[in-house]
Structure 1
Amino acid sequence: MNIPDSNTVFPLTNYKNLCFLKNLVNNPNIIVGDYTYYDDFDDVSNFEKNVKYHFDFIGDKLIIGKFCMIASGATFIMNGGNHLTEATSAYPFAIFGGAWQDAMKGKSYPTKGDTVIGNDVWIGHDATIMPGVQIGHGAIIATKAVVTKNVEPYTIVGGNPAKEIKKRFSEDSIARLLEMKWWDWDLEKITQNVAKLTSNPEELF
C-alpha cells in the first residue's frame, strides 16, 4: 500500500510551493501535526515569517493539528503583539529603556495563551488568526477573515471580525465526527476510507 509519507517535505512531484509543514518548521514553539500542508505563492519558508510577534521570552505556542490545509498569506498574530488596553496609554515605554525602563514594574502585558488549531481545519488565503484563538476540528476559515475569538468545530467563519456563516453538518453529525476522530486512525484505516472521507459524513456512520 503506497501511502503518502508525512515526513516528505514536498509531497507533490516537481512542485515546491506546497510542503508538509512539520518538516519545515524550526521554532520549537510551533507544533504541527502529520499531513498538515502549507501552500505559498512565493516560498513555503514564508510560513514562520507569517507567525508574528512570536517572542521566545513569552513562551506562547502555536499548535496546529493533523490534516490541516493552510493557504498562502495566512497569518498568526501571537501574544508578543499585545499592548496595554486599560492603561491611559497603550505605548510600550519600558522596551526603550533609559528613564522609561521601569514603566512596567509590577505590571505585565496581556496574554491570551496558546493559539490552537484543531485537526482537519482549512485556513484560507490571507486569513489572520489573533492571539489565543482556538479553532475547532473541521472548521473552515474564509479568505481574508480576521479571527478574533474561538471557532466551534465544523463551522465556517468569514469577515472582519470573523463571524459564523454556517455549520458544515448537522449537530448530530458533528457530534459523531468528533467522537470518531478519524484523524487519529492508523494510516491503513484512513487509506481504506479515503473515498468515504471525501463523501458526505453519513458514509462513515
Structure 2
Amino acid sequence: MNGPDPNNRAPMAGFPQVGYLKNFITSENIIVGDYTYYDDPEGPERFQGNVLYHFPFIGDKLVIGKFCAIAKDVKFIMNGANHKLSGFSTYPFQIFGNGWQRVMPEAGELPYKGDTEIGHDVWIGYEATIMPGVKVGSGAIIASKSVVVDDVPPYSIVGGNPARVIKPRFDEATVNTLLALAWWDWSAEKITRNLAAIVGADLVALSAAQEL
C-alpha cells in the first residue's frame, strides 16, 4: 500500500470525527493541502464555521499546507473582524445604514493584515485562535488555547496568550535541512517508503532518500 487516499472524507474507518479537511471546504478563499485533517467529535464539517469574519468582498485567504493536524474548535479570525482605529469610536456605524453609511471607511482605512498562512506538518491544539495575517512556519506546534498574534517560526513550539515561542524543536541546521527537503511534497509512494525516517527523526536517511 502507498498510503491513504487524500480525497477520502473519512479516512479512519469507524471514526468519522476525523476528516481530511480539503474535502469539506466550500469557500474559494480557503485552501487546504492533502492529508491535513480536522478532528471534531461533532463532525469535521464544522471547521469552516470556525473561520470567522471571512467575507468574500475583503478577499483575504486562509491557506493551510499538507499534513497538518487541527484539533477541535481551532478558530481563525480573518480581516473582516477589524474595525477602524483612527477615529474616536471603533463602532462600525456604517454597516447599519439609515444615514450612517455616509461614514463608510475609505479604502485602506480598515486594518488589513493580508492572508493567513499555515505551513506544512503543523499541529494546532484544541481551541487555539489564529489572528488575521499570521504566518505559521512548517513543522510548528501551537499549544491548546493559545492566541497567536505574531508569525510563528518553523519547527518551533508556541503557547500562551499572546503566544510566545516556548522552544525550538530542533537546532537551526536541522530545521534548514528539513525545510529544504520538504518531504511533504514527495509522492505518497516515496513518503510511504521513508516513513521510518520521517517519524524517527533520521535526518541522514531522509537526506539520502531525497536523492533517490
TM-score, normalising length: structure 2: 0.93
| Cα distance in structure 2, aligned partners of 1:98 and 1:128 | 35
**What does 1:151-162 align with in structure 2 at a 5 Å threshold?**
151-162=152-163
Residue 57 of structure 1 corresponds to: 57
| Cα distance in structure 1, aligned partners of 2:202 and 2:112 | 38
Identity %: 55
Q: Secondary structure at the match of 1:11?
A: coil
Query: Partner amino acid for 2:128?
Result: A
| Cα distance in structure 2, aligned partners of 1:44 and 1:116 | 20
Query: Partner amino acid for 2:180?
Result: E
| Cα distance in structure 2, aligned partners of 1:123 and 1:15 | 20
| Cα distance in structure 2, aligned partners of 1:178 and 1:187 | 18
Residue 184 of structure 1 corresponds to: 185
Query: Partner amino acid for 2:19?
Result: C
Query: Partner amino acid for 2:139?
Result: G
1:86 CA displacement: 2.7
Residue 76 of structure 2 corresponds to: 76
* 1:204 and 2:206 aligned: yes
Check the 8 A contact 1:129/1:148 in 2, yes or no.
yes
How far does the alpha carbon of each residue in 1:63-94 deviate from its partner, in whole angstroms, 9 at most, with x for none?
00000000001000000100122321111011
Q: Secondary structure at the match of 1:45?
A: helix
How far does the alpha carbon of each residue in 1:101-137 deviate from its partner, in whole angstroms, 9 at most, with x for none?
1112535321111000000000000000000000000
Residue 144 of structure 2 corresponds to: 143
Q: Secondary structure at the match of 1:38?
A: strand
| Cα distance in structure 2, aligned partners of 1:157 and 1:88 | 35
5+ residue gaps, structure 2: 208-212
More helix by share: 2
Check the 8 A contact 1:173/1:201 in 2, yes or no.
no
1:44 CA displacement: 1.3
5+ residue gaps, structure 1: none
Query: Partner amino acid for 2:98?
Result: G
**RMSD of aligned residue pairs (Cα, Å):** 1.1
| Cα distance in structure 2, aligned partners of 1:56 and 1:204 | 41
Query: Partner amino acid for 1:67?
Result: F
| Cα distance in structure 2, aligned partners of 1:37 and 1:21 | 5
1:204 CA displacement: 2.4
Residue 6 of structure 2 corresponds to: 6
Residues 105 and 170 of structure 1, relative CA distance in 2, 3 Å threshold: closer
| Cα distance in structure 1, aligned partners of 2:130 and 2:89 | 25
Q: Secondary structure at the match of 2:22?
A: helix
